Structure 1
Amino acid sequence: MPGRKSAWLPDQHGAWAMLAVPFLAGTWLAPRPGWAHAALFAAWLLGYAAVFHGQQWLRLRRVARRRPDTAARHVRPALVLGAACAAIGLPLAAAYPWLLLAAAAAAPFVAVNTWYAGRGRERALANGLAAVVPACGMLLVAAGLGGLPAAAAWRPALACLLYFAGTVPYVKTMIRERNSRSYRRASVACHAAALAVAACLSPWLAIPFAAYLARAALLPGRALKPPAVGAIEIVCSAALLATLVLVFGGG
């Protein structure tokens, strides 16, 4: 039933790795991780869930006019989760005022996602790419919170951006655009470019990014079920996190 607590969890399963991996990488790369990271991570996840429900309310209010209850069921989660995010986030912002600048930098991308949601176009390629940017930017935020300057954190943040941006067209080739040759070509081209850039960031990054290119070239067309696609992406995300920590965490 809609009122059950499980209905409060966003069903965008692919988003969770994108939310967690950059943040965890920034935390583990920072020289002084602490309690503030746990609080910020909680606020980050709660804020994402609140925004998700708010966007669903906008989308469903427009497309389900004959069933207003369909949109209304997202109001309570949006308000409660948003209040919980504020309860954790505001004290953090008071202790670290620069977090407000980070939130302001993310706001335009959230606005783009909200615009697409309000028009029922959440699956648009540009919408997915817009969501990737603030998620990967959280590596810089988590790193800065632990005392790692942006000059030392931008390379792992860019590596995250390269990977997660590539997942946007790749996942489409596996599910919604599985029959599109143009999407497959674009996905492979994006992954090839990402491999070249990643290798410039660190030669060790060429290993996972070569694997990402191989999966983008070889897996589309093999009729894998969505759970299998998701499991592969979990492995790829974990490999990225491990590589970033090993490559950039040597002090």
Structure 2
Amino acid sequence: MSRSKWIPDQHGAWAMLAVPFAAGTFLGDAGWLHLLLFVCWLLAYAAAFHLQQHLRLRRCSRNPRAAERHLRPFLTFAAALILLGTPLLALRPWLALAVAAALPFFAVNTFYALRNRERALVNGLVAIVPACAMLLVALRLGGGTPGQGAGAFAACLLYFGGTVQYVKSMIRERRNRRFLHGSIAYHGAALVCATLLSPPLAVLFVLCLLRAALLPGRGLRIRTVGLIEMGLSVLLLVTLLAL
């Protein structure tokens, strides 16, 4: 397995991993422990990805080597996570509660992987919860409280929940009109909720609604879809920090 294959190919996940974490970090007092936590967070994601792929392919693939190629990356990332995560837990034992809280979501994602249904909408929506909750973890590490980050956490959930649906309406469900209508309805409701959270968020969520309603069916390249989402994710981060 080439080194390039060690990096998870779920490109849309990187913004979801980074933006809430960055928001929580800079909404509080950023410190060197945030860097260590972020590295551990990425290692945990990579280890979970390869473990789930290993389990999925062992069950679904006729090629026994297909599953085995994920075993070495999993063991490597898991070992690095233990090596770096152990001293972090020793310094901040409360992080064990965050790990425990994430385990049920990991279990659901693993269940969908075993059924070879990783692209299911529910699976994607489940995955965004611990990713967005890293905002609260990073904020707590910087001396903040969950209450201080509740609004930003909710905004991240609303945004990334919409991203999961919008991207599917552009790619895998691009011919499904009912899915498109559901995505537009979600974004409309998200706009209302975000405006109630903080009126300045309305600008971002209006843009999200417009792209959900106007871009599907226009034959945009996957790269273009990704760049648009990257830009909106950056705008989300800037908006949260400005507020």
Same fold, judged at TM 0.5 (above): yes
1:180-195 to 2 correspondence within 5 Å? 180-195=176-191
The separation in 1 between residues aligned to 2:185 and 2:209, in whole angstroms, is: 9
* Percentage of identical aligned residues: 58
Cα deviation for residue 216 of structure 1 reads: 0.3
Q: TM-score, normalised by structure 2?
A: 0.99
* CA RMSD in angstroms, aligned pairs only: 0.7
Aligned to 1:51: 48
1:73-222 to 2 correspondence within 5 Å? 73-222=69-218
The separation in 2 between residues aligned to 1:98 and 1:147, in whole angstroms, is: 13
Tell me which amino acid in the other structure corresponds to 2:7: L
Tell me which amino acid in the other structure corresponds to 2:4: S
1:16-95 to 2 correspondence within 5 Å? 16-30=14-28, 32-65=29-62, 67-95=63-91
Runs of 4+ in 1 over 2 A off after TM superposition: none
Cα deviation for residue 90 of structure 1 reads: 1.4
The separation in 2 between residues aligned to 1:151 and 1:70, in whole angstroms, is: 45
Q: Which runs of 5+ in 1 are unaligned?
A: none
Cα deviation for residue 86 of structure 1 reads: 1.3
The separation in 1 between residues aligned to 2:84 and 2:182, in whole angstroms, is: 41
The separation in 2 between residues aligned to 1:23 and 1:54, in whole angstroms, is: 23
The separation in 2 between residues aligned to 1:90 and 1:197, in whole angstroms, is: 39
SS at match of 2:217: coil
The separation in 2 between residues aligned to 1:196 and 1:105, in whole angstroms, is: 29
Q: TM-score, normalised by structure 1?
A: 0.96
Cα deviation for residue 57 of structure 1 reads: 0.4
SS at match of 2:200: helix
Q: Which runs of 5+ in 2 are unaligned?
A: none
The separation in 1 between residues aligned to 2:30 and 2:103, in whole angstroms, is: 25
Tell me which amino acid in the other structure corresponds to 2:81: C
Tell me which amino acid in the other structure corresponds to 1:13: H
The separation in 2 between residues aligned to 1:201 and 1:95, in whole angstroms, is: 34
Equivalenced residue count is 243
Cα deviation for residue 169 of structure 1 reads: 1.1
The separation in 2 between residues aligned to 1:168 and 1:41, in whole angstroms, is: 23
The separation in 2 between residues aligned to 1:132 and 1:78, in whole angstroms, is: 21
The separation in 2 between residues aligned to 1:185 and 1:126, in whole angstroms, is: 17
SS at match of 2:116: coil
